[in-house]
Amino acid sequence: MRIGEINRKTAETSITTYLDLDGIGEADIDTGVGFLDHMMTLFSRHGRFDVRLSCDGDTYVDDHHSVEDIGICLGKAFKKALGDMRGINRYGHIILPMDETLILCAVDISGRAHLSFEADFPSEKIGTFDTELVEEFFAAFVRSSNITLHIKQLSGKNSHHIAEGMFKAFGRTMKTAVAIDKEFDDEIPSTKGVL
């Protein structure tokens, strides 16, 4: 069972996270940030990850602390669930269309934290959600999981579609990268012998 559970409490947020890498895409999400609930549900379904996530955050200030800390917790849950990463594909990529939007997403579960994020959101808000927080989520996830992630908006005019395309692409890309390669299921996918 490749499962990661993370509980994290700070002066700004209290978060519980459960992740099953080998699930069926069931999501029970309550982040306190409506748009992020939607994105996390899409991520879970498209990655086929079972995710239970709840956050009690200081959203009376704004959504920043909750979004960033959820990224931290989910990234840590992935790292924990992957263990020594024996047998994983390691790499994944997709070019995903969402109506007029086209998103490139590529990942290397490398043990090295790096985010390359290129997007041009036409609006500063999606409902009450600050679009700049999309990058903040991915940056927090990358730092805490030690992966290399590239997300690039190739086209798009609707901010909701752009964000949604990113989270769907991220789910599908991570699904490929964490999947076990049955031909090499006892190998660490690195010439170093460790990731």
Evaluate whether residue 195 is within a structural domain.
Answer: no
Evaluate whether residue 191 is within a structural domain.
Answer: no
pLDDT of res. 131: 98
- Judge whether residue 194 has pLDDT over 80: no
Q: What is the mean pLDDT of residues 67-83?
A: 98
pLDDT single digits (tens) 150-178: 999 999 999 999 999 999 999 999 999 99
Q: What is the pTM of this model?
A: 0.95
Give the number of domains in the chain.
1
Evaluate whether residue 55 is within a structural domain.
Answer: yes
Evaluate whether residue 193 is within a structural domain.
Answer: no
pLDDT of res. 190: 73
Q: What is the mean pLDDT of residues 92-107?
A: 98
Which residue carries 């679009």 as its tokens? 131
pLDDT tier for residue 55 given thresholds of 50, 70 and 90: very high
Evaluate whether residue 194 is within a structural domain.
Answer: no
> Closest Cα partner for 49 from 115, 3, 8, 107?
3
CATH code of the domain in which 153 resides: 3.30.230.40
- Judge whether residue 119 has pLDDT over 80: yes
DSSP secondary structure string for all residues of the chain:
--EEEEEEE-SSEEEEEEEETTS---EEEE-S-HHHHHHHHHHHHHHT-EEEEEEEE-TTT-SHHHHHHHHHHHHHHHHHHHTT-TTB--EEEEEEEETTEEEEEEEE--S--EEEEE---SSSEETTEETHHHHHHHHHHHHHHT-EEEEEEEE-S-HHHHHHHHHHHHHHHHHHHHSB-GGGTTS-SSTTS--
- For residue 29, the enclosing domain spans 3-184
Percent of the chain with pLDDT over 70: 99
Evaluate whether residue 160 is within a structural domain.
Answer: yes
